[in-house]
Structure 1
Amino acid sequence: MQMVGSLVAKPVAGRRTLVIVGSTHPQHKAVKLMNHRRPKKKGADRRHKAAEYAPLPPPPAEYTVVSK
């Protein structure tokens, strides 16, 4: 077995194959970077509740009988 950078070369039936051992400096991937940079809620935002509105009046009748 021979070490080549962060890869290990293993001889298999006379041929060498590269196997990844690990990385010294892993990089942020796309989703992880977006979550890392997204805006965070502050204390006042965490305690903020939804607005409370007065209930709506009942709707008008759908049918109005004009004559029988």
Structure 2
Amino acid sequence: MWTALALHDSLSVSFKDRLDAVMASANDHLNQKLPYGFRREGHLAINTLEGIAVLPDRIRITANAHGNLRFVYER
């Protein structure tokens, strides 16, 4: 029988690769060239995984994230 902690740990490991892929995609979208010599540079990272909820039609992952975003002008 699964305990709540064992289920949480199992889901954390199972979805870590997918969550890493989502974070990589988000970071790719944060970095891009903009018109008129500007570019956007950003990075987002997850500090802690706070919870995983298995819902009837999806899985909800709650995380504490941090990051930065800057706009750079190049001539």
Q: TM-score, normalised by structure 1?
A: 0.24
Q: Quick check: which has more Rg, 1 or 2?
A: 1
* Structure with the higher fraction of residues in helix conformation: 2
Q: Looking at secondary structure, tell me which structure has more strand per residue.
A: 2
Between the two structures, name the one with larger relative contact order (CA 8 Å, sep ≥ 6): 2
TM-score (norm 2): 0.23
